[in-house]
Amino acid sequence: MPVRTVATSPFADQKPGTSGLRKKVTVFQQPRYIENFIQAILETASEGLRGATLVLGGDGRYLNREAIQTAIRLAAANGTGRLLIGQGGLLSTPAASALIRSSGAIGGIILSASHNPGGPDGDFGIKYNMANGGPAPEEVTSAIHRRASTLTEYRTTDTPDLDLDRIGETRIEGMVAMVVDPVANYAALMETLVDADRIAGLFRRGFRMRFDALSAVTGPYAQEILERRLGAPAGTVINAVPLPDFGGNHPDPNPVHAEALMAEMMGADAPDFGAASDGDGDRNMIVAPGHFVTPSDSLAILAAQAHLAPGYARGLAGVARSMPTSRAVDRVAKRLGIPCFETPTGWKFFGNLLDSGRITLCGEESAGTGSDHVREKDGLWAVLLWLDILAATGKRADAILLEHWAEYGRDYYTRHDYEEVDATAANALMASLRERLPTLPGQKVGGLTIAEADDFAYADPVDGSVTAAQGVRILFAEDARAVFRLSGTGTVGATLRVYLERFEPDPSRHAMPVQEVLAPVIAAAQEIAGIARHTGRDAPSVVT
Ligand code: VG1
Ligand code: CO
């Protein structure tokens, strides 16, 4: 089959956001849309593409298989040497990152819209990861966007569809397409980081766990690792079969969208430990019996206890968190005497810190936690690290949480999302906040006093690049904080995210209802930003 050059015209909207190009499925179904973007990726990566290895896989959502076949043809026609494809077209985001690193690939194409809903009316996405296994940094995503906006042709072949379900090698043009087990390489990596025998011992002694895969990509990974390798009873993993529409649900592991797991963990006969992951397997939700563990607290607890696991026995070089993540991990870093970096939202900003050895662990308030073992956040890894800590200490998960608060204080935390608001109104709200920044300090709002207000800018300590306008931060004198930013992963209108927190050092005040403790901060945030006035909403659509 000869390589064909096909005329195309550019699409103006192929601009990657926080995590790749994410749009409605119907947008990706436009003729040449997927081809155009993948050609732009391949040309941007082209320095070194010829003869090199690429990794390809997705979260199994609607359009995954078709897009995989398209990507295979374009990769072959553009001179890729070897293409590693997850069996069934599946690769969780962290497994793709691990495979890129272990195979010496120059990068990988991951098909995912992560926690966004799937199905014909849902979302789809494509992102590019670099040779370090991490999301392409800003300068590369901008280059892909520029290329996609000027492209006039793409290269493909007319080869028949590859059998994605059969492990093996097929030659397509000059390229070797290898369908590989999506789980084996990842599971082996996990066993180098945690003490598998120690965790297996927990399960042998009757430890009960529930892992909700939310009908997304982690089902096969969790079944293999938890049930087969670690000996958790069958049925520990629920909703384990990846479905193209995730059973009609949001594959987003938070108390709202993983409500069945939450109900079980808050019930009288709760298992010892509950966890869930998202569409593409990079997020994690941790639930102790009777307590949701906020991702910000989970990051802090893992930072404090990671040395118990073999992969981190040498201690941590440093930690990092995204700016809207609570300051709980900062307190641990201070105690450990290690640096703590504050980055913009999105995993790509951790890449340089991890590559340069400045940090070992990092995380985001949005249920993302990870370490230097890959360059993506890693849902199952966080779950395994928690399990190893439980096994090493012999403590219950809820005890670990309460003891952590008693030792470091509690950062009460909530995020309020205003979804699908009018984009113009959302931009006006942010613009107005930014304009008023200099006048805010000193103002009293409700019972709180604004101490500082700024628009977060990040200067990368490794490459010196500066990323501005990453979110408005309001710091109150009462050790509370409100952060405002617009989502970069939504596909309809704009989503305003308001992150709210307040520090409470007194252990006698650690068992209060979160929304009640934060009520004054919430009210102040709504007033300062004029949320109702700008958006017409008097309440958020999702509270987590
Ligand atoms: C959201 C989260 C961010 C995360 C990103 C990708 O971005 O807030 O922390 O890195 O999703 O996660 P935004 O711009 O919508 O706030 V995933 O699991 O969707 O790849
Ligand atoms: Co995700």
Encode 204-257 in three state secondary structure: HCCCCEEEECCCCCHHHHHHHHHHHHCCCCCCCEECCCCCCCHHHCCCCCCCCC
- Cα separation values, 161 from 29, 46, 53, 352, Å: 18, 24, 20, 38
**Atom in ligand 1 nearest the alpha carbon of residue 366:** 9
Q: Which ligand is nearest to the CA of 417?
A: 1
Cite the active site residues.
114
**Atom in ligand 1 nearest the alpha carbon of residue 322:** 9
| Ligand 2 centre distance from Cα of residue 379 (Å) | 9
Q: Which tokens is 159 given? A: 């080869």
Ligand 2 (single-atom ion) residues, CB below 5 Å: 114, 278, 280, 282-283
Ligand 1, pocket residues at CB < 6 Å:
18-19, 114-115, 278, 282-283, 322, 345-347, 364, 366, 368, 487-489, 497
- Long-range CB pairs of 272-275 (<8 Å, 24+ gap) are 272/207, 272/208, 272/209, 272/390, 272/396, 272/397, 273/207, 273/208, 273/209, 273/210, 273/386, 273/387, 273/390, 273/397, 274/209, 274/210, 274/211, 274/212, 275/209, 275/210, 275/211, 275/212, 275/383, 275/386
**Homologous superfamily of 186-408:** Alpha-D-Glucose-1,6-Bisphosphate, subunit A, domain 3 (3.40.120.10)
Q: Which ligand is nearest to the CA of 20?
A: 1
| First vs last C-alpha separation in the chain | 52
Q: Whose Cα sits closest to atom 2 in ligand 1?
A: 366
**Atom in ligand 1 nearest the alpha carbon of residue 495:** 15
Name the residue of 19, 277, 343, 495 to mutate for ligand 1: max ligand atoms within 8 A of Cβ: 19
The two domains 3-181 and 186-408 share their CATH topology (first three levels equal): yes
CATH number 3.40.120.10 given to 3-181: yes
CB 149 within 8 A of CB 21: no
Residue ranges of alpha helices (H) inside 409-507 are 423-436
Q: Whose Cα sits closest to atom 10 in ligand 1?
A: 346
Q: Which ligand is nearest to the CA of 94?
A: 2
pTM of the model: 0.95
- Cα separation values, 196 from 163, 181, 200, Å: 34, 21, 6
| Ligand 1 centre distance from Cα of residue 184 (Å) | 27
Q: Which tokens is 514 given? A: 């979160």
CATH tag, 410-543: 3.30.310.50
- Domain segments of the chain: what residues? 3-181, 186-408, 410-543
One pLDDT digit (tens) per residue for the chain, 544 residues: 689 999 999 998 999 988 899 999 999 999 999 999 999 999 998 667 888 999 999 999 999 999 999 999 999 999 999 999 999 999 999 999 999 999 999 999 999 999 999 999 999 999 999 999 999 988 899 999 999 999 999 999 999 999 999 999 999 999 999 999 999 999 999 999 999 999 999 999 999 999 999 999 999 999 999 999 999 999 999 999 999 999 998 999 999 999 999 999 999 999 999 999 999 999 999 999 999 999 999 999 999 999 999 999 999 999 999 999 999 999 999 999 999 999 999 999 999 999 999 999 999 999 999 999 999 999 999 999 999 999 999 999 999 999 999 999 999 999 999 999 999 999 999 999 999 999 999 999 989 999 999 999 999 999 999 999 999 999 999 999 999 999 988 778 899 999 999 999 999 999 999 999 999 999 999 999 999 999 999 999 999 9
Q: What whole-number distance in Å separates Cα of residue 336 and Cα of residue 383? A: 23
